[in-house]
Chains A and B, each alone.
Chain A
């Protein structure tokens, strides 16, 4: 399967959507009455968080497929999705922290349930890579990583429920749900940013998949030319290695 196709058009679409979304967020969307300019971080933070969580769930779904079919490609898809979501997740925590500092005066606020849940999920998924690293056998590594991805995927909603309930009182949630408390003029930029961020995730995912496939093919070609030693991977990696039959 080719992942390199239509990468250019997807990248362009992502760039256009994100630029338009951020442009509208800055020039079209009204200033927030309470928080002023600082509220603009909402257009980065919330789409990032939604896309990162979606990526974790997507990784879990791919892991289910991997366990069912035993196809190593699903493991690679799950790995790339979780790995990308972790990177985005770090962005979510940083932007959330900046927003908390700006609007509540503290870098970290424990009674903001969504952010706390996200930290717990992030900490859990941060063990995905160490887990992969500590299993030698590639087949077992893939299988165990998938079991982890399925378990963690099911954990995400339950954790959000528990943390949300644990707040005796919640902060006045201006943006309780994406379409609940949001004024109409904020909705359009927000959804555009959300779509842009999802496209960004898809683009990066496709890039990494294409890169992984290409290097796997390169390796197998090298092996054909120069014997088994030529195809050895350099450096330490826990990424699933595909055996391409080219």
Chain B
């Protein structure tokens, strides 16, 4: 199981490194979205709940972009068939794809979050706030990666693939948006950052756990043929 996951993950990352497709597009998209927010909100600087909202909408929509491409190459080039022929556990594909998506999201955030801080964020966060932000990002990304992998595997076999992914994933991710936006709001306050309320981290953790187990339970039915 662990070796299979490592092999599939290595293949995903190598593919992305040799011919970067998802990560640059997502990063570019998120920076462009920040610019769009600047003009649409008609503001030079944001703070507090508005800042948290801008950040999460940007990251979520960028994630949708990468999610809909996640299984496309495997589907079109026969990678899925090859995987199904191999005598390995199918769950390995779920874990590897989710880890790959998590890696892509983290790579995008390395670009998008500093860009957000530079372009739009009013108050400058202190190191403690940055550490808390990284924790929230990690917990939220895990949820996005799990749901993204599940929805992407579901949508890749449909005709309207790119339409189905955001339609399915966005309502499913609303609890993540609620918790992540609430958790990051205190970090961006104009009068200096405050501590992240623990219950939103608990909600994010609970969400990751529930949907992680659920994805584990149902994923086998999505990659049968």
Contacts and interface: CB of A to CB of B under 8 A. Distances in A.
The residue among B157, B159, B179 with the most chain A CB atoms within 10 A of its own CB is: B157
Interface residues of A, number: 29
A67 B218 CA distance: 9
Contacts of A135: 157-159
Interface string A121-135: 101100100110011
Interface string B166-185: 01100110110011001000
The residue among B150, B158, B159, B206 with the most chain A CB atoms within 10 A of its own CB is: B158
A109 interface: no
Nearest to B222: A147
Contacts of B160: 130, 134
B167 A127 contact: yes
Given A135-B158, A143-B224, A155 B218 contact: no
B76 interface: no
Contacts of B221: 67, 143, 146-147
Contact of A162 (B150, B179, B217, B224): B179
B171 A136 contact: no
B222 A158 contact: no
A178 interface: no
Interface in A115-167: 120-121, 123-124, 127, 130-131, 134-136, 140, 143-144, 146-148, 150-152, 154-155, 158-159, 161-163, 165-166
B218 A150 contact: yes
B164 A162 contact: no
A131 B154 CA distance: 9
Contact of B158 (A124, A131, A146, A147): A131
B218 A158 contact: no
A93 B168 CA distance: 20
A171 B116 CA distance: 35
A158 B154 contact: no
A130 B164 contact: yes
The residue among A143, A146, A158 with the most chain B CB atoms within 10 A of its own CB is: A158
A147 B218 contact: yes
A124 B171 contact: yes
A144 B171 contact: no
Given A67-B218, A150-B214, A151-B150, 14 more contacts: A123-B171, A134-B158, A135-B158, A140-B225, A143-B222, A144-B157, A144-B222, A154-B214, A162-B178, A162-B207, A163-B178, A165-B199, A165-B203, A166-B178
The residue among B164, B178, B218, B225 with the most chain A CB atoms within 10 A of its own CB is: B218
A120 B171 contact: yes
A158 B158 contact: no
Nearest to B151: A151
Contacts of A152: 172
B195 interface: no
Nearest to B176: A162
Contacts of A144: 154, 157-158, 222
